[in-house]
Amino acid sequence: MVSINHDSALTPRSLRDTRRMNMFVSVSAAVAGLLFGLDIGVIAGALPFITDHFVLTSRLQEWVVSSMMLGAAIGALFNGWLSFRLGRKYSLMAGAILFVLGSLGSAFASSVEVLIGARVILGVAVGIASYTAPLYLSEMASENVRGKMISMYQLMVTLGIVLAFLSDTAFSYSGNWRAMLGVLALPAVLLIILVVFLPNSPRWLAQKGRHIEAEEVLRMLRDTSEKARDELNEIRESLKLKQGGWALFKANRNVRRAVFLGMLLQAMQQFTGMNIIMYYAPRIFKMAGFTTTGTANDRHAGGRADLYVRDVYRRLYGR
């Protein structure tokens, strides 16, 4: 057993530092959710102006919107391997860098083909960040606050949508769709800076046999050294257990039920059609007789309502 000898009780100053560190980790990783939300919201307001600029057909408009989802699927295929090889911290860094490249590529696109390619890059970033950020938060948080820290990510997604609507509203008067898409680079650069100061996940460090570093990270995040040592022991024991994988899925009815329910929840969320409304809201409102600026204001109001409802449910019911 590798351990570091420190007093098991922390000073009040250290307790304050622990709380600050937990808050820093939570907010920093959740910025990835903010970027996801911004990308969801910003294309809706920019699409009418992009359509006019490139004279897009309905099929090309669909490609501009759906190319991000295509990239997200590609990112989702590789993010497990990436987070294992590079760690959660540097996977977030990779996602943030791709966010910068994709947003700048979208803003300076000279053709619709370049725009679609840049949107695919943005999607890869979304696929990486939407997997890595919640995973990182769950591995950094203690059991009593894990749900709150992970829900912070979803709250930041919604906040990103609201901010995107505000940004779209501001730029809708001039029709500057390049600024609408390019603004995504600013929080992406912020995420890169924040990730530099984030510690590696203690579970990933333990997987790599770096137990001293894992315990040092846990000491920064837990109230006492004893809790840090106990949690490291739990992590090491859990890593020794063989993962059942497909055999466990076939043999255990409860596992199959849990997987099915998780898939059903995700499918039902998509079947509501909410994402379609988010992406094509300006077109829907325009068909209803609203102006472009009025459409932006209406989406802003809807985004604020979404943020309020999510926050109320998070506070009352948690996950």
Q: What per-residue confidence (pLDDT) applies to 303? A: 47
- Within 55-111, residue ranges assigned H as helices are 58-107
Mean pLDDT by 10 residues, the chain (319 residues): 43 65 87 88 88 92 92 90 90 95 95 96 93 90 78 85 85 89 93 94 92 90 85 85 67 84 83 74 70 49 46 46
Say which amino acid occupies 170: A
Considering only the C-alpha atoms of the chain, give the largest distance between any 2 of them, rounded to a whole number of Å. 70
* Per-residue model confidence (pLDDT) at position 242: 58
Q: Which CATH number fits domain 12-198+294-317: 3.90.226.10, 1.10.10.60, 3.40.50.1110, 1.20.1250.20?
A: 1.20.1250.20
172 contacts 282 by C-beta, under 8 angstroms: no
Q: Which of 303, 278, 287 is nearest to 45 (CA)?
A: 278
Share of the chain above pLDDT 70, in %: 82
Distance, in Å, from the CA atom of 223 to the CA atom of 156, rounded to the nearest integer, reads 26
Q: DSSP assignment, residue 128?
A: H
Give the pLDDT confidence score for residue 3 in this predicted structure: 42
